[in-house]
Amino acid sequence: MKVGFDVAPLAVDNAGTARYVRGVRDELRRRDGVELCELAWGGPGRAIAAVRDVAWYPVGLPLAARRLDVLHCTTFRGPLRAGVPVVVTVHDLAAVRFPELFTAWTRLYARTLLRTVLRRATRVLAVSEFTRRDVAAVAGVPEERIDVAYNAADESVFTPDGPAAEGDYVLAVGTLEPRKNLSRLIEATGRLGLELRIAGARGWGGVDVDARHVRWLGRPSDAALAALLRGALCLAYPSLWEGFGIPVLEAMLCGTPVVTSKDSAMAEVAAGAAELVDPLDVGSIANGIERALARRGELRIAGFGRAVDFGWNATADAVLDCYRAAVG
């Protein structure tokens, strides 16, 4: 099977989408019978991203894939028409549900093209059951055309054994953007008198992380992130909306207790192995952190036991099943 595989997200950042692209790509490269053709155009930058969205995805990408068996668009950006079956991965639909949390361009794309791209795709891949339900409800894609291929993490890097950062601190992981809910987390850790370290690239929306008890670390390497996770009292990830929440999985693989949002994809990922909080309530976040610290040994064991259920091998199996269904 000749697969056109969209690797354009790798030019943008090292966040969850890029982790997904690398993990699936590297696993598919190992599979017999799969010929992977990596497709991309342009580099980083908002202007380039806009051109990619309005020219490369609708026109250039389907032209590049015209002699292949299937085209896999690894985000919800894709062509409206193509001469081959199209699979589109949806990581989340936060841009539709909470447009005010995103850049003007992302809001415009979500409002004008996103639903149409998903409806015209041959099949849609969701990264969780939570996202699968959201795609059906928000984009109107029939459930029988939506498959689930869970995210995973690099188990060679994110392990319980290895260097650990020093100090007593709560760790937050994620790009500095409104959706990550950092302002409430900063207030919650301030109430508790705990140091908060934030690992993530500068994003958008004017997110302010300047507080006496906060250290912003920028975007660390994966090895440095793993050390930060091992040394943390807990990972606090009270995001307002995620389709999966890879930092939750990375933390559990490192044996780090997790505090994350209830009624979300992260609750599905954690499956009872984390403290769940109301992300809109500072008091709930603070109480969740206190509970996680009191249950630290228990959560370390439960989290690691849950995390080993995920892996890029299983993800690639599900992706290949989706390709076969798309090709028919």
pLDDT digits (tens, 9 = 90+) for 202-228: 988 889 999 999 999 999 999 999 999
pLDDT on residue 251: 98
Q: Please check whether residue 88 is in contact with residue 121, taking contact to mean a CB–CB distance below 8 angstroms.
A: yes
**Does the pLDDT of residue 169 top 80, yes or no?**
yes
| Average confidence (pLDDT) over 161-175 | 97
Distances (CA, A) of 84 to 69, 184, 238: 6, 46, 40
Q: Which CATH class is domain 169-307?
A: alpha beta
The region of weakest confidence among 104-108, 158-162, 196-200, 249-253 is: 104-108
Domain residue limits, the chain? 2-152+311-327, 169-307
**Does the pLDDT of residue 14 top 70, yes or no?**
no
Q: How far is CA 204 from the centre of its chain?
A: 17
| Average confidence (pLDDT) over 98-107 | 88
Distance CA 50, CA 86 (A): 21
Q: Please check whether residue 246 is in contact with residue 206, taking contact to mean a CB–CB distance below 8 angstroms.
A: no
Helical residues (DSSP H) of 208-281, grouped into ranges: 222-231, 246-253, 265-270
Name the CA radius of gyration of the chain, rounded: 19
* Ramachandran bin of 213, using left for φ above 0, alpha for ψ from -120 to 50, beta for the remaining angles: alpha
pLDDT over 70, % of the chain = 99
Task: Supply the pTM of this predicted model.
Answer: 0.91
pLDDT on residue 205: 87
Q: Please check whether residue 220 is in contact with residue 199, taking contact to mean a CB–CB distance below 8 angstroms.
A: yes
- Rounded to the nearest integer, the mean pLDDT of the chain is 95
Give the angle subtended at the CA of 112 by the CAs of 110 and 116, to the nearest 5°. Answer: 90
Distance CA 162, CA 40 (A): 35
The token duo for 13 is 């950042």
Residues in contact with 95: Cβ distance below 8 Å, sequence separation at least 6, in sequence order:
102, 106, 107, 109, 110, 114
Would the CATH topology of 2-152+311-327 be identical to that of 169-307? Answer: yes
| Average confidence (pLDDT) over 39-47 | 85
| Average confidence (pLDDT) over 47-76 | 92
Q: What is the CATH T-level fold of the domain 2-152+311-327, as seen in this structure?
A: Rossmann fold (3.40.50)
| Burial label, 155 (beta-carbon count in 10 A; 0-12, 13-18, 19+) | middle
